[in-house]
């Protein structure tokens, strides 16, 4: 073989190796239903950047905002059947896919946001994330969205103020039961339809964290935000078991590290973001912020803790473990 032919063969080989390296780079698709300026989107972009850095560009995450690849529920179904690599859901909707999340959704299960942070950064939190492996996905990170409160066309100072009101909830048995115990009419409505539902009076009340006033512009159409702070329903970033099992141990370790760093990054920034949303809602959107005596709300919903604990020994143990983290 001539020198010229040898050189040509070497060049072709190098080109093929280069193409092979490029094709081995894996981009995971992650879908969620918030806008690109939402804190969860920013934190998931951070996760993708860290994963790329930790794997020298071998793995990347492309984050799709505004439900581009489907609603929150559709995303979870796509993850389960391996059509979608990753999704951001929340513990409220996830209990339909993995019942263990119903413990996290209990009203007043967390004594404070500090208690919540203690749980998600403990072995308890990791056990919750891993519990769904036989359901086609695992959780890799909790992204706090702070405490949720009632807001709408009037102040809610006691459970009696909810009597007979149509209250939008997520399609979650826990959310529905909570509103029923407080005297309201639980009305499941998709997040994307909530603005018009509030505007048209389909529901008089809903509940979420303060950023809903600003990011979702609900402050334009509601007059009162009442700080009941009844639940802390975090987002959860999940990955399909198909995508997870296709990764090497080194890649899985990099993913866990990127997710852990994103969880910490998000927690550090959330409090300031939430407080700013309350300030903007009050000063610029005219929303009245109401302090609430939580004791009557706690008393009304406490039966839920016993009801959920009675569903299984696993749930009863988890509830006790979560409460123990407060100490």
pLDDT in tens, 49-73: 999 999 999 999 999 999 999 999 9
At residue 12, the pLDDT reads: 43
CA distances from 295 to 185, 206, 232, 255, 300 (A): 21, 20, 17, 41, 9
Taken in order 44, 47, 53, 58, the sign of the CA dihedral is negative
pLDDT tier at 3 (50, 70, 90 boundaries)? very low
| Strand-strand pairing, 137-143 and 235-240 | antiparallel
Of 237, 240, 236, which is closest to residue 78 (Cα–Cα)?
A: 240
| Model confidence pLDDT, tens digit, residues 137-190 | 999 999 999 999 999 999 999 999 999 999 999 888 899 999 999 999 999 998
Tell me which residue of 146, 143, 136 sits closest to 75, measured CA to CA.
Answer: 136
Taking each continuous run of H as one helix and of E as one strand, the counts in the chain are 14, 11
Q: How high is the pLDDT of residue 17?
A: 42
Cα(196)–Cα(135) distance, rounded to whole angstroms? 34
CATH topology agreement for domains 23-99+112-144+235-275 and 147-232+277-324:
yes
CATH 3.40.190.170 is held by the domain 23-99+112-144+235-275: yes
Q: What are 266-281's pLDDT values in tens digits?
A: 999 998 999 999 999 9
User: What φ, ψ does residue 77 adopt, rounded to 5°?
Assistant: -65, -40
pLDDT value for 327: 79
158-161 own/partner pairs: CB under 8 Å, 24+ apart: 158/293, 158/296, 158/297, 159/183, 159/296, 159/297, 159/300
**224-232 and 147-152 strand pairing:** antiparallel
Report whether CATH 3.40.190.170 matches the domain 147-232+277-324: yes
pLDDT for the residue 156: 98
Name the 3-class secondary structure at 291. strand
What's the confidence (pLDDT) of residue 183?
Answer: 97
Q: 234-260 pLDDT, tens per residue?
A: 999 999 999 999 999 999 999 999 999
**Are the C-beta atoms of residues 161 and 149 closer than 8 Å to each other?**
no
Per-residue confidence band for 10, with pLDDT thresholds at 50, 70 and 90: very low
**What is the rounded CA–CA span in Å between residue 273 and residue 281?**
12
Q: Phi then psi for 93, rounded to 5 degrees?
A: -75, -25
Sequence ranges of the domains in the chain: 23-99+112-144+235-275, 147-232+277-324
């Amino acid at each position: 073989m001539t020198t010229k032919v040898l050189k040509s063969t070497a060049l072709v080989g190098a080109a093929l190796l280069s193409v092979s390296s490029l094709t081995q780079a894996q981009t995971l698709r992650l879908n969620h239903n918030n806008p690109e300026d939402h804190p969860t989107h920013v934190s998931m972009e951070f996760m993708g950047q860290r994963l790329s850095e930790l794997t020298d560009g071998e793995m990347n995450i492309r984050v799709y905002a505004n439900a581009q690849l489907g609603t929150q529920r559709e995303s979870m179904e796509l993850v389960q059947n391996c059509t979608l690599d990753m999704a951001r859901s929340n513990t409220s909707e996830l209990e339909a896919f993995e019942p263990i999340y119903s413990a996290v959704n209990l009203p007043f299960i967390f004594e404070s946001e500090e208690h919540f942070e203690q749980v998600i950064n403990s072995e308890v939190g990791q056990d919750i994330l891993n519990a769904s492996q036989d359901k086609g996905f695992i959780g890799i990170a909790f992204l706090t969205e702070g405490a949720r409160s009632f807001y709408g066309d009037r102040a809610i100072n006691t459970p009696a103020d909810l009597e007979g009101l149509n209250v939008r909830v997520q399609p979650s048995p826990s959310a529905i039961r909570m509103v029923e115990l407080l005297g309201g009419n639980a009305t499941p409505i998709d997040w994307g339809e909530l603005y018009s539902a509030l505007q048209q009076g389909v529901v008089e009340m809903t509940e979420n964290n303060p950023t809903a006033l600003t990011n979702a512009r609900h402050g334009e159409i509601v007059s009162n935000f009442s700080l009941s702070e009844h639940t802390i329903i975090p987002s959860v970033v999940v990955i399909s078991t198909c995508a997870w099992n296709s990764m090497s141990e080194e890649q899985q370790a990099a993913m866990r590290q990127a997710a852990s760093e994103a969880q910490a990054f998000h927690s550090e920034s959330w409090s300031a973001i939430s407080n700013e949303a309350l300030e903007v809602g009050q000063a610029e959107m005219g929303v009245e912020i109401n302090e609430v005596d939580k004791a009557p709300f706690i008393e009304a919903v406490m039966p839920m803790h016993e009801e959920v604990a009675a569903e299984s020994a696993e749930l009863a143990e988890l509830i006790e473990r979560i409460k123990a983290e407060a100490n």
